[in-house]
Amino acid sequence: MKIRKQLEEREKKFLSKHATLSMNSKGREKEEKPCDIRPCFQRDRDRILYSKSFRRLKDKTQVFLSPDGDHYRTRMTHTLEVSQNARTIAKALLLNEDLTEAIALGHDLGHTPFGHAGERALNEVNPGGFRHNEQSLRIVETLENYGKGMNLTWEVRDGILNHELNLTPATLEGKVVRLSDKIAYMHHDMDDAIRGGIMKEKDIPERLAKTIGHTNGEWLDTFIHDIIATSMDKDDITMSAEIYEAFLELREFMFANVYTNPIAKGQEGKVEEMIKILYSYYLDHIDKLPDYLKAMMDEGETKERIVCDYVSSMTDRYAVSVFEEVYIPKSWTVL
């Protein structure tokens, strides 16, 4: 079939001169036969979507720990909203949507159970520290598929690693995801905070509301439109000076009023201690780790590294289940 080549030629014909073309990818670490239907970035998107690491995101905390309600975000719904924001921007700017979506779907694969609380705990106890963006890259390069990795293209891996605000992706598609991530979590975390009774939309300072809108839906619309208008036909992804200043001010407001709110975050101390205890437990019980992780020690990985890999991969529910199994006594019953 010639479908893949036809799609690659279509990219060349219709995408922006600043877009990353599939045919120009720097390739994979391990050479493999191209798909006859899908361009390389679409193939990467599919590999991430069908991975176990992606499925585990459905039971990992976004902001609220074990919320009592069906409509609060999880790490997976966050990822899907990042992907939607990013694809909207990429489509408008005639960038590569497949590459954009692959980066967006993979950017948070390395998050720990219980969100940033788990990340802080592992960063404190693991000698090499812990950063979820680096763990996301480690998953796609090394851990997924029982230690074989996904063998993704260089561009997708670069975007996953560099999605933090203080880092710079090499592609415009990666830069789109980098901003879309921050826009998405401010939008939906405010929505969750309002649903949880922590805040009201009217709590946003009026001077800020006059610039970006009075509702979180208006904020999302403002940010996305501004990125598209400011970045059109340019070799960069940016906001206008006024909107970027408002973006940073809203981010500071969210950290002050939501991300450190004692109602939303009151249980995080317990979570951090639990993650540290699980880490210590598996250091002393390496035999309980999966065989493919133990085999990595024979290849030079430290036990601290693979224990960190294992604990960080847990879902919220599984982490609590293991902790209860190991440390909470069961009722004695006569057989």
CA distances from 99 to 95, 112, 184, 260 (A): 9, 25, 18, 34
Residue 8 lies in a domain: no
- In percent, how much of the chain has pLDDT > 70? 95
**Which pLDDT band holds residue 68 (cuts at 50, 70, 90)?**
low
Measured from the Cβ of residue 67, the count of other Cβ atoms closer than 10 Å reads: 17
Residue 147 lies in a domain: yes
**Entry field: residues in the chain:** 335
**Which pLDDT band holds residue 196 (cuts at 50, 70, 90)?**
confident
Residue 328 lies in a domain: no
Q: How far apart are CA 161 and CA 118, in angstroms?
A: 19
Predicted structure pTM score: 0.95
**Which pLDDT band holds residue 202 (cuts at 50, 70, 90)?**
confident
Residue 17: is it exposed, middle or buried by C-beta count within 10 angstroms (0-12/13-18/19+)? exposed
Count of domains forming the chain: 1
Mean pLDDT lowest among 36-50, 107-121, 195-209, 292-306: 195-209
Residue 61 lies in a domain: yes
Is a pLDDT exceeding 80 seen at residue 291?
yes
Q: How far apart are CA 313 and CA 306, in angstroms?
A: 11
Residue 243 lies in a domain: yes
Q: What is the pLDDT of residue 58?
A: 95
**CATH number assigned to the domain comprising residue 184:** 1.10.3210.10
SS3 of residue 112 by DSSP? coil
- In percent, how much of the chain has pLDDT > 90? 79
Q: What is the pLDDT of residue 331?
A: 75
Q: What is the pLDDT of residue 61?
A: 84
The per-residue pLDDT of the chain, averaged, comes to 93
Top mean pLDDT of 202-211, 215-224, 302-311 is at 302-311
Residue 303: is it exposed, middle or buried by C-beta count within 10 angstroms (0-12/13-18/19+)? middle
Range of the domain at 102: 42-83+94-316
Q: What is the pLDDT of residue 1?
A: 65
Q: What is the pLDDT of residue 145?
A: 97
The mean pLDDT of 315-324, rounded to a whole number, is 95
How many whole angstroms from its chain centre is CA 28?
A: 21
Q: What is the pLDDT of residue 118?
A: 95
Q: What is the pLDDT of residue 109?
A: 98
The mean pLDDT of 90-116, rounded to a whole number, is 97
pLDDT in tens, 105-138: 999 999 999 988 999 999 999 999 999 999 999 9
The mean pLDDT of 129-158, rounded to a whole number, is 98
For residue 255, list its beta bridge partners: none
The mean pLDDT of 260-279, rounded to a whole number, is 84
Q: What is the pLDDT of residue 334?
A: 67
Residue 2 lies in a domain: no
Is a pLDDT exceeding 70 seen at residue 66?
no
Q: How far apart are CA 157 and CA 276, in angstroms?
A: 29
pLDDT in tens, 215-261: 888 999 999 999 999 999 999 999 999 999 999 999 999 888 887 77
Q: What is the pLDDT of residue 193?
A: 81
Q: What is the pLDDT of residue 149?
A: 98
The mean pLDDT of 90-112, rounded to a whole number, is 98
Residue 180 lies in a domain: yes
Mean pLDDT lowest among 49-63, 68-82, 124-138, 304-318: 68-82
Residue 218 lies in a domain: yes
